[in-house]
A and B are shown apart, each in its own frame.
Chain A
Amino acid sequence: MFTLRLPAASCRSAGRGPKLSDYRRPGRLKGIVGGDAFKEKGEHELAVMPEGELIAYLLDARAHGAPTGLAVSILVFKLMSDVRRRVAMKVPAEAIDEVAEAVLLSALTSSFDGTSAGEFRNWLTTIIKRRIADHHRSPKTDVRLVPLPEEHEGDDEVWGRRVSVPFEGEAIDVERALDQAKRELNPEHLEVVSLYIFEDLPAAEVADRLVGITEANVHKIAQRFRDRVTELLSERDDTST
């Protein structure tokens, strides 16, 4: 049994609307959750629900003994492709499906433990990291003993045409540097970096969305962020030599 701790400086949830924790307060959102007020929803309603609400609906449907198959199917469909993509960058090709499935299973079942409140995407990220780490800890699939893909270049039967990032060393350093650089930003600047760099919105659009931020500010904040990441990585180099 575990309680997931959400990273404090993580990006905002991709889901819109109320948080999962809102649904756990009796009477907070009547008609979806609360006492005996559960109302089964149809496919059209479920299809447009933000993920957090869909998980909350699943929780409530299960508690009321109502069918959950459709909600589970929608969640699996919506989440699996990007979970696979994220896992694919960190584990060997032959392990992608099993690790991605484990992520989905963990995400959808552990949502019912009553302790995992908060933003669904952050929480999913935590689960992805855990499951990838689990995979790499498994003696059966010790990635350190697996030859790198380049050694089998052109041999699709062995490795396929794609490469992933070794889980240790460089990847960890980079993730830490990025996390630290993000943590050092105030919420407004973090939003600028998130929208401009990680969502690739035009600087003008980012400036339009945020009060008091000009297009020039956007470029400046983004460049400072890039410089800081580079600086942090250099510091890690200095430390390790």
Chain B
Amino acid sequence: MADVDTLLKEYIAAHRAGEEADPRDWLARLEGRERALLAAMIDTYLERAPAPEWDPEAFRQSGLAPLAERIDLALQGQAGTWPALLPSLSHKRRLKRSEVVARLAGALGLPDRQDKVGSYYHEMERGLLPAEGVQDRVLEALGSILGQSAEALRAAGRELAPGAGSDVAGATAFAREARVDPAFAVDAVSAPPASPGTDDDEEWDEVDRLFRGG
């Protein structure tokens, strides 16, 4: 274990010095069981290594802000992990939000109602639309566009209420999807807010029923 010990010490020193400290650079210097052992020991070190101090400027430059925003939307919203999941899925498919909306409206047989479908989809991405109100037909259509099953999308949309579990299938689905390119993230989160169907004077139509009728 001598080499492993030496490399572990070197790794810890690099990590503490604030270097990039990508473990793979150290693992590449060993093979087979010794590599596996070093990986396990580095993991044990990282498990309890002190976290970096909060640095707002470094955070801004890290590219992590969109991820934090999506997680926060999920926590604040009433649609489970949809705010984190939907932009990620569309990014994975290289689809802009407008393309998702157009395809969704088409799949629902409502190509002339893209604006309203888009408003509802925006609410889904922002966690503003309760998932239980969204009909299976919508989730099936959306799932076929985003490469996920309707069941996985339904599970991901379960509200993260205090006291309610949240490790839903969507989290697993999210694990397999790529991080969101800023261009797509901006597209996803900056669309003007809308509240279709919430005006008491407005009559419900087919789009309202699909997204809010349950």
What B residues does A58 contact at CB under 8 A? 75
Nearest B-chain residue to A3, judged by Cβ: B165
**Does B137 lie at the interface of the complex (its beta carbon under 8 Å from any beta carbon of A)?**
no
Among B25, B45, B171, the residue within 8 A (CB) of A198 is B45
Q: Bound state CA distance, A161 and B28, in angstroms?
A: 9
Known pairs A79-B51, A104-B67, A171-B36; A99 contacts B164 (CB<8 A): no
**Does B124 lie at the interface of the complex (its beta carbon under 8 Å from any beta carbon of A)?**
no
Q: Is the CB of A1 within 8 A of B8?
A: no
Q: Please, how many residues of chain B have a CB less than 8 angstroms from a CB on the other chain?
A: 69
Among B12, B67, B168, the residue within 8 A (CB) of A101 is B67
Nearest B-chain residue to A78, judged by Cβ: B51
Q: Is the CB of A99 within 8 A of B12?
A: no
Nearest B-chain residue to A125, judged by Cβ: B47
Number of A-B contacts defined by CB within 8 Å: 225
Q: Bound state CA distance, A113 and B171, in angstroms?
A: 14
Q: A36 → chain B, closest Cβ, in Å?
A: 15
Q: Bound state CA distance, A226 and B88, in angstroms?
A: 44
Q: Bound state CA distance, A141 and B9, in angstroms?
A: 33
Q: Bound state CA distance, A110 and B12, in angstroms?
A: 30
Q: Is the CB of B8 within 8 A of A200?
A: yes
Q: Please, how many residues of chain A have a CB less than 8 angstroms from a CB on the other chain?
A: 79
Q: Is the CB of B25 within 8 A of A69?
A: no
**Does B58 lie at the interface of the complex (its beta carbon under 8 Å from any beta carbon of A)?**
yes
**Does B115 lie at the interface of the complex (its beta carbon under 8 Å from any beta carbon of A)?**
no
What A residues does B50 contact at CB under 8 A? 14
Known pairs A77-B58, A89-B27, A105-B71; A11 contacts B165 (CB<8 A): no
Q: Is the CB of A89 within 8 A of B179?
A: no
**Does B177 lie at the interface of the complex (its beta carbon under 8 Å from any beta carbon of A)?**
yes
Q: B104 → chain A, closest Cβ, in Å?
A: 23
What B residues does A43 contact at CB under 8 A? 54, 56
**Does A108 lie at the interface of the complex (its beta carbon under 8 Å from any beta carbon of B)?**
yes
Known pairs A88-B24, A97-B179, A115-B165; A72 contacts B39 (CB<8 A): no
Q: Bound state CA distance, A173 and B32, in angstroms?
A: 12
Q: Bound state CA distance, A108 and B83, in angstroms?
A: 14
What A residues does B109 contact at CB under 8 A? none
Known pairs A98-B178, A121-B48; A76 contacts B36 (CB<8 A): no
What B residues does A194 contact at CB under 8 A? 48
Closest 9 CB pairs of A and B: A1-B165, A102-B175, A162-B24, A47-B54, A78-B51, A174-B36, A14-B48, A113-B165, A114-B163
Residues of B at under 8 Å CB distance from A? Answer: 1, 5, 8-9, 12-13, 21-25, 27-28, 32-33, 35-37, 39-56, 58-59, 62, 64-65, 67-69, 71-72, 74-76, 81, 84, 88, 160-168, 171-172, 174-179
Known: A80-B67, A101-B175, A165-B36. 18 other contacts (CB 8 A): A10-B47, A13-B48, A73-B64, A77-B54, A85-B42, A88-B23, A90-B39, A98-B177, A103-B175, A106-B171, A109-B71, A109-B81, A135-B176, A170-B32, A171-B40, A197-B41, A198-B45, A230-B1
Could you list 5 A-B pairs, sorted by A, with CB under 8 Å? A10-B47, A106-B166, A109-B160, A162-B24, A194-B48
